[in-house]
Structures are given as C-alpha cells and as structure tokens.
Structure 1
Amino acid sequence: MSEPTTDGRRLKGERRKKELIDATVRVVARDGVAGVSHRVVARQAGQPATAAAYYFKNIDDLLTAALTDCMAQDAARMRALAAGTDGGPVGLRALAELMAAVVVHPDHLLAEFELYLLAARRPELREATDDWLAAIDEFGRRYTDDPVRLRILAGVMDGLLMQALLTDDPPSVDAFEDVLRQVLL
C-alpha cells in the first residue's frame, strides 16, 4: 500500500523547516541575531522569500527553533560521550577532541553563543540551554558527584569555547584535555 500524499508533503515541509533553521544558524553566525529576518533566512536557505514567514510566524519563533536545534545537537553529542565513557582518561580525551573540532570551524559555535545570550535575556528560551547544561552534568557525573566540580565543568567548557572564538590560535586537543583533567580528575 502506498503512503498518503500528505506524508510526502509533511516530510517535504519538515525538510524545508530544517533548511530554514540551519540557514538561521548561518545568518546568526555571520550577522548576529540582529541580522535575522524572514527574507534573509529564506534567501540563505535557497527558498522563496515567503517560506520562512510561512513556517515561522515571527522572528522569535525562528530564533527559538534555531536555539533549540543547536542546543539539542550539542546535548546529544555530550550524552553520547557520557554513554561511551566509564569516567577515565579516554572520555576526557574524546571531549577534548570534540571541543577542538568545534573551534576549528567556529560558525556553529559563534551562532550558539549569540543564541545562548538571547536565552539569557528571554527566560522562555532557557529550556534548550538547560538541556545543554544537563548533558554536561551527565558527562561530568561519570567522573564526580561533587556539585561544585560539576558547575565548574560547565563554566569551564563554556568559557574555553568562548575564549577560543576570540583567538586566531585556538587551543589544541592537549590544551583542552589538560584543563578537563584539572577539573575532573
């Protein structure tokens, strides 16, 4: 039996929505949150000028979707790392490698921090950032139950990644790993 045509349209709609969210992240990375408009995002996604307004009633909805998507991706990566470590040095190395990879191509990270700051101003957006922080906590709990060290881990990770955006010579895997060892071992 063939699938109803509505399923195909729904899938196409979801794909177009995802393309718009990804385009929003690219626009935020390039121009900041202030550079986001329905027209600019639609153009960046290669879609008709009205597409973004069709799927997202206002810019806040579009930014919320982009923030949620970014943080969900990062939280999923952190949870995968947590699941793959027993609290030993291999897990710290894997996290350091992930951090180093993120800063080499900083567009996504730059957009995330822009969106992160937006969540600081708009409490209704904090669910996504809370999920990211919970994922860091899950990783850290493989190493310690000390709530202070877990809070330090989250602050250190965000701080190191932010600082990496401010330099032409981002930290190496070894440099990230050295700091993570100090925090967790």
Structure 2
Amino acid sequence: MVTRPGLYRLLGETLNEVTTDGRRSKGERRRRALIEATLRVIERDGASGVTHRAVAREAGLPTTAATYYFDGVDGLLTAALTTCMDDDAEKMRQLTVAADDSDSLHALARLMAEIVATPGRLLAEFELCLLASRRPDLRGPTDRWKGALADFARRYTADPVRIQLFTNAYDGLLLHALLADQPPTVDEFEAMLRELLPDAR
C-alpha cells in the first residue's frame, strides 16, 4: 500500500519527468528550427551572412536562443553541415535497401531531379561542403555522406574504381545541373547513373 507521502513523492517524480521531457522536446525543436534557419540564410546570403542575429530572426526566435544553443557562428555552420550530410546519407541508405535494383536507380534519378528543381538547399549544402574542404575537423559528416554513396554503388559493383567514380561523380552531376539553364530530367539523370554503374539492370 502506498502511503500519502509516498504517493506525493511518486506524483512529484512523474511531474518532474514530464517537465524535463517537455523542456528537452522544446529545446530540440528550437535547435532544429535554428539549423533550418541557418540553411535558409546560407541559401539567400551565403555562409558569410550567417550570424546569431540573422539566424534567430530567420527562425522567428530571440537572438539569445541562437547564442544559447550554439557557441559562435562556427557552431551554427557545423550543425547545419552535419544535419545536411546526415539527412542526405539517410535518404541514400533508404534507396540502398530498396527491393529492386532497377527501381532504386530510377528512384535516385527522380530524387536528383527533385533536388535541382528547387535548388536552394543544394546551394547551401555546396557552400557548407566548401567550408569543410578547408576544415579537416568538419569532414566527419562529409565522410559519412560519401560512405552512403559508396554503399549504394556496391549494390551494383564490387569494382573499387567504379565505386569511387560513382561517389565522386554524383555531387558533380548535381553541381553541373545547378549551372545549366535547363537541368537534366529524370530520364537524363537515370541514363547518366547507368553509365556510372553499367552493371545495373
């Protein structure tokens, strides 16, 4: 039998857990909102436009929120890069485990066409990757992304040169699509992917 003091203690512990979880959830939502705002600022103004004030204003939050969750502009840029690369790697992993090889290649081509149709986030990602090229300490997320690309290629080939070719060419295809007056269609992307992975059926 639970005594009244014991019941009060249990209720207090439950309320504390709910309060803590609520605060944690709110904090995670705010942090994600600030990261997404950072990407929009980079898309619009480039990486040089990222400040705590600019990001907080873009997110509709007070400047103190940005300074609370991120130490300096470098923290914002690192979080944005990590989020982009990990999100992209997860999408690639989902394609890698698709049931049908032929369908997964077509699905990747369709994804590429969707990316270049609304290229804002892609522009931000390339800016962040250039930052990582000058900062070896930021290459963990880009290495995970390249690893996801390599895993996709291994579905079709065991040739290490072919895998490296696909891994290096994928981002290049997207970059050149940004520079084209008319970006490639799904069918055009798929044709290029099949040239990179000729063993795919």
TMscore range, shorter length:
over 0.9
Cα distance, 1:155 vs. partner? Answer: 1.7
Determine whether 1:83 maps to 2:92.
no
Aligned to 2:63: 49
| Aligned residue type for 1:35 | G
Structure 2: state its 5+ residue gaps.
1-13
For the residues of structure 2 that align with 1:20 and 1:163, how far apart are their CA atoms?
29
Which of 160, 171, 179 lines up with 2:184 in the alignment? 171
Q: How far does the alpha carbon of each residue in 1:133-163 deviate from its partner, in whole angstroms, 9 at most, with x for none? A: 0000110000001111111111211111001
Determine whether 1:14 maps to 2:28.
yes
| 4+ runs deviating over 4 angstroms | none
Size of the aligned set, in residue pairs, is 184
Structure 2 residue matching 1:29: 3-state secondary structure? helix
TM-score by length of 2: 0.89
| Aligned residue type for 2:143 | D
Of 131-140 and 160-169, deviating more is 160-169
Q: How far does the alpha carbon of each residue in 1:85-143 deviate from its partner, in whole angstroms, 9 at most, with x for none? A: 45x32221111011111111101111110001111000111000001000001100000
Aligned to 2:3: none
Aligned to 1:37: 51
Cα distance, 1:43 vs. partner? Answer: 0.3
TM-score by length of 1: 0.96
- Matches of residues 32-181 of structure 1 in structure 2 within 5 Å? 32-86=46-100, 88-181=101-194
Structure 2 residue matching 1:4: 3-state secondary structure? helix
| Aligned residue type for 1:132 | W
Percent identity (aligned): 58
8 Å CA contact retained: 1:85, 1:142: no
For the residues of structure 2 that align with 1:85 and 1:144, how far apart are their CA atoms?
17
